[in-house]
Amino acid sequence: MSKLRIAIQKSGRLNEDSMAILKDIGIYIDNGKDQLKASAKGFPVEVFYLRNGDIPQYLKDGVVDAAIIGENVLIENGNGIKIAEKLGFSSCRVCIAIPKSAKYSGVQDLEGKRIATSYPNTVQDYLDKKGVKAELHIINGSVEIAPSIGLADVICDIVSSGSTLFKNNLKEVETILKSEAVLAVSPKLSEEKQAILDRILFRIQSVLKGRE
């Protein structure tokens, strides 16, 4: 019998909550994060520990069947990938932030600015809609440091508690989108695997009801 391949974040903020929900629905994985792949006990599921940014492509290619991932990552890079269920944890927002001391009167102030971000498609879409032209600098992490080292004037990144912005003397000026963890599904799912997924979805829905 084939197994449903589920990707979760290898390390980072989604990892713990993703492991927790798998456990709550009765999918027990016996090894830790050291191994990149693990089989569940008593359920036809394999779990793959992957980098966030790689997951959308794996879903598109059908290399993995499903994934627990931030909705924002799909919006950035996940055309055609369906969301089977919103999971209600790891809420965050994608925001534009500027140095605390800078003046800001509206989105037109971003015209001509250098914006550091890990979410270029999301930012570009937003700027296009607002009719603003800016220069994007793509960096993969520690985005909030960019203004203080002179790499950019503005940043666009995920905000959860707001503590990273605060510690880096930045203030949030625009919210581009809101996000939470979702169960995303490959467009190439076979019927056999769809049946396994349906069983998982049923369990997830019960667990989410219980958490309400």
- Among candidate residues 211, 207, 200, the one with its CA nearest the CA of residue 84: 200
Q: Which is nearer to ligand PRP, 1 or 149 (CB)?
A: 149
Measured from the CB atom, the residue of 7 and 155 that comes closer to ligand PRP is: 155
Task: Output the smallest distance, CB 179 to ligand PRP, in A.
Answer: 11
For ligand PRP, the closer CB: 160 or 175: 160
CB of 164 to ligand PRP, least distance (A): 3
Q: Which residue is nearest to ligand PRP (CB)?
A: 141
Of 145, 141, 162, 144, the residue nearest 93 (C-alpha): 162
Q: Min. distance of Cβ 182 from ligand PRP in angstroms?
A: 18
Q: Which is nearer to ligand PRP, 85 or 172 (CB)?
A: 172
Smallest distance from ligand PRP to CB 202, Å: 32
Of the pair 12, 187, the CB lying nearest ligand PRP is at 12
Q: Which is nearer to ligand PRP, 62 or 162 (CB)?
A: 162
CB of 178 to ligand PRP, least distance (A): 13
Q: Cα-flanking dihedrals φ and ψ of residue 115, to 5°?
A: -115, 120
- Note the residues at the interface with ligand PRP (CB under 6 A): 12-13, 141-144, 157-164
Give the shortest CB-92-to-ligand PRP separation in angstroms.
7
8 A C-beta contact, residue 85 and residue 201: yes
* Contacts by 119-125, CB closer than 8 A, 24 or more apart: 119/72, 119/76, 119/94, 119/156, 119/157, 120/76, 121/76, 121/77, 122/72, 122/75, 122/76, 122/94, 122/156, 122/176, 122/177, 123/96, 123/156, 123/176
